Structure 1
Amino acid sequence: MMLRKQTMNEPMYDVVIIGGGMTGLAAAWRLEQARRAGLPVRYLLVEAAPRLGGKITTRTQDGFLIEHGPDSFLTTKPHLLTLVRALGLEDELIAPRTTRYYLVRHGRLVPAPEGIFLGVPTRFMPFLRSPVLSWPGKMRMGLDLFIPPRRDEADESVGDFVRRRLGREALERLAGPLMAGIHSADPDRLSLEATFPQLRAMERTHGSLIRAMWRARRQRGSGRSAGRGHRSPFLTLRSGLGRLVDALQDVLDPQALNIGVAVSAVASHQAGYTLALSTGATITAKQVLFTTPPPATARLLQSIAPDASQHLHRIRMASSASVVLGFRREDVPHTLLDASGALVPRIEQQTVTGYTFASSKFEGRAPDGYVLLRAFVGGDGREAALSLDDTALVQQVLDDTRRLLGIQAQPVLTDVQRWEKARPQYDVGHLDRVATIERTLPAGIAVVGSGMRGAGLPDCTRQGIEAAEKALAALGFGRPAETPTA
């Protein structure tokens, strides 16, 4: 698309943020704080959807609180927790009521052994007693103590790494569902360096994952963090993560938000970049932050950064769906009422890839006398069922739920949310590709978000804030001496 020459009436912004998901909102928040601290920065966030928040999707129906996107966030990566506190939401934080979960083995629910971290046991006896793995599988995991570490620095898949260190059964039954499930990914394509670099670091430093976990547990002292006294590293907000989006929108300058408007083209000009909007308007920016998914970003960058665009197009995207089911409490087996969910390994060949027992995991998710479950479908290599319409998909999920969870009753509530080509796949070599993208971008352009350097909410928050700070530095604003909280 050709852009006409800029006129004097076209607005000029210091920074334009394309995309209003978590990354874009975090960037806008950082720029708003700089503005409130006295820096004369003029910014605009443009979001094509009719609402902000991206995949954060919270709604209520008949007393149920439904999350169709992420339902919590990791606190060991501090950026989002810091933002939540800065927004004055700390009193609304709640932790999971339980950290227990199940794994499916041969069509039956088996409690996950206590003390498992990323598929690696940190406690000896609970792991040995657990039926999650066969005795040959457990003995093969024990060989991790004697297998020498790999010496070269090349990236490898999560699947190859786990098979090499812990064995095939550990990958299929334990580590694969835990690690690849987070990313809706195929473990044999998922990059270890881009997703779980700490495991490679453990291998290099300690020569063994099990040895590294045991040493870390001894350093923690009593070891309660691996047992029933364990405090979950995850938190959420009492009224759902949609509350975070609302709080961010409330503190941003309303004049800096352009919601329901898409960017249709981006072109270079002498003052920076000209952006054509779906309304027919044209705006100009000195700095442009792309927080959109890789395919959308690739299309917009095609004319001004063709090499970066080409590499962005190579980031594969997977589709998934969330199917919410509400049941009467008396229709649900009591074993499901004291656990946070269940993981279904690929080898089980079910439609459902996992469940969150939402009303058991967090308070306030279902009215008294009812239970809320959330089933996950799809992901890389498991997308066949997504071709079904909503009615057929719900029925398929119910069939799995009867077999796996033992719930025979009809639900009192069903709800389906589809995420079409919305999950970036961090294939082996992903970080090299990201570095190439960043290296081939022209000055004044940044590409950040879930497709780049971390897909979780804390990583997206970090990327947005860092991109905003780099834009401020490039504009010559520097860092304000004091940043207000909200």
Structure 2
Amino acid sequence: MGNPNKTIAILGGGITGLTAAYELLKLGHKPTVYESSSRIGGAIETIRQNDFLAECGPNTLLETSPRISALISELGLDSRKRYANPSMKNRYIIKGGKPVSMPLSPGQFVTTKLFSLGAKLNLIKEPFIAPCPSETEESLAAFVVRRLGQEFLDYAINPFVAGVYAGDPSKLSVQHAFPKLYALEQKYGSMIKGQFFGARERKKRRTVSKDKAKLVSFDQGLEVLVNGLGQKIGNTINISTVIESVEKAEEKWVVQGRKIRESFDAVITAIPTHRMTNMTFRDESDLDMSILRGIVYPPVTSVVMGFRRDQIRHSLEGFGMLVPKVERKNILGTIFSSSLFENRAPEGYVTLSTYIGGMRQPDHALLDDQEMDRLILEDLEALLGVRGEPAFINRRVWKKAIPQYTVGYGKILDRFNELEAAHSGLFFAGHYRNGISLGDSILAGLDVAHRINQQ
């Protein structure tokens, strides 16, 4: 147990910073949150208009840990929590210009038209393929082709990575972008064997794999969680406050901006790395943050459209659809938002949340509205049978969306470890270090609070 009543500056009022502030208050410390924009929540923002509900950033929260469930309960939000419709399990992959349901059982895998007989036989061979030497860092694409073949890369991994990272599997590091997948091969010699034996270990840890975890939102969208945290930590938050420098002086960390200069026992940096590189960090001399400039954040635009149900031929019975690169379409994928959760569209209407851009076609995310809508509607018509114009549109352009854990990312993670070890009281947490999912970011906030408490 560390010293109580520490003062902590938290740079960034996104979900990691807010969660850290909440947990630090519980532990008896005094956090202060600095957020440069006029609102808290970061990428989490929910828009409601004419009975349509649109998520501007993440759409769902995966309940992978009991700590996430406990946080929701502590905030008094259990009555507002909503689980995704359990009957909407289908996930569609586009093949040959048509949505094909991903197999959800061994029986479905045998009969699916998504993969050829040769690809299915590759899966049988997978447990007998030798693991890659631990000193060799592979891209996700190389890892998948080696263990499962090109077809699995094209019609399973490529669309999945586009949906999660908006990324390119040939550039992502399997070791850092998908560390659990990498660990299965290193520990068990096989992904399939690792899934079987790893289930026992997850049960002991009381954690749930992401493919089995429940999808969560709230009655009025994910911003309910942000507001719940905000209410608990309210007077610790400073919005519209830009921090320009962090400097160690006389055993304290001095945080300075245009209108503020305050001293703290510790600092948590929970802002994107592309903003860190515009700041000065100093402890006797300037800290070298130059390696962070190499982190790629591709642009992604989220476009939520509302249609009359009779405008769409597809059943929309499922989570959504993902588009492989080899299908040569404009969009990355579409979530069937109103199929997953109630209260997303007025009676007789549906909402579709579509993503465009990413590493695959970054320019598409920056098109003018008219051209972007034309490309999206062209794909939705071809793939889902959407006819006519939407009754509702909400668009959010993320010019720097998701950090890409590319091959060589270990050097960046090592740099954060070095900075924390060399400069007591300086901490880093967020999706650039701890995983890119919403759940990862929540756990990062909880973890960094406890690391400070124990120091």
Q: Same fold (TM over 0.5)?
A: yes
1:454 aligns with 2:435: yes
* Equivalent in the alignment of 1:323: 303
Shift of 1:463: 1.6
Could you tell me which residue of structure 1 aligns to residue 239 of structure 2?
Answer: 259
- Given residue 420 of structure 1, which amino acid in structure 2 is its aligned partner? K
Q: Work out the CA distance in 2 between the residues paired with 1:34 and 1:136.
A: 56
Q: How many residues align?
A: 438
Q: How does 1:293-442 map to 2 (within 5 A)?
A: 293-304=272-283, 306=286, 308-336=288-316, 338-441=317-420, 442=423
8 Å CA contact retained: 2:299, 2:366: no
| Distance apart, 1:231 and its partner CA | 6.7
Pick aligned residue for 2:99 from 104, 109, 113: 109
Structure 1 residues 210, 473: closer, same or farther in 2, change over 3 A?
closer
Alignment of 1:61-460 (within 5 A): 61-97=49-85, 98-115=88-105, 123=106, 125-213=107-195, 233-254=214-235, 256-278=236-258, 280-304=259-283, 306=286, 308-336=288-316, 338-441=317-420, 442-460=423-441
**Structure 1 segments of 4+ aligned residues over 6 angstroms from their partners:** 215-220
Aligned partner letter, 1:63: D
CA distance in structure 2 between the aligned counterparts of 1:458 and 1:219, rounded to whole angstroms: 20
Please state how far the C-alpha of 1:212 moved relative to its aligned partner: 4.2
Q: Could you tell me how far apart the structure 1 residues matched to 2:158 and 2:261 are?
A: 47
Amino acid paired to 1:58: T
Q: Percent identity?
A: 30
Cα distance, 1:308 vs structure 2: 4.6
- Could you say if the C-alpha distance between residues 187 and 261 of structure 1 is closer, same or farther in structure 2, counting changes exceeding 3 Å? same
| Aligned Cα root-mean-square deviation (Å) | 2.3
Q: Label 1:372 to 1:180 Cα distance change in 2 as closer, same or farther (>3 A).
A: closer
Matched residues in 1 for 2:129 and 2:452: separation?
47
Cα gap change, 1:416 to 1:127, in 2 (>3 Å): same
In 2, Cα distance between the equivalents of 1:267 and 1:72?
A: 37
- Distance in 1 separating the partners of 2:144 and 2:305: 34
User: 1:35-81: CA deviations, max 9, x gaps?
Assistant: 3xxxxx33210101111000001110110111111121122234322
Deviation string for 1:212-260 (max 9, x for gaps)?
446778999xxxxxxxxx9753222222110001111111141x11111
User: Which blocks of at least 5 consecutive residues in structure 2 are unaligned?
Assistant: 203-210
Q: Contact conserved, 2:12 with 2:33, CA < 8 A, in 1?
A: yes
- Residues 65 and 269 from structure 1, CA distance in 2 versus in 1: closer, same or farther, beyond 3 angstroms? same
Q: Is 2:45 the counterpart of 1:57? A: yes
Matched position secondary structure for 1:69: coil
The CA distance in 2 between the partners of 1:379 and 1:346, in whole Å, is 12
Compared with structure 1, are the counterparts of its residues 138 and 328 closer, same or farther at alpha carbon in structure 2 (3 Å cutoff)? same
Q: Distance in 2 between matches of 1:298 and 1:277?
A: 15
Kept after mapping to 1: 8 A contact 2:9/2:255: no
In structure 1, how many angstroms separate the alpha carbons of the residues matched to 2:288 and 2:172? 21
Shift in Å at residue 314 of structure 1?
Answer: 2.0
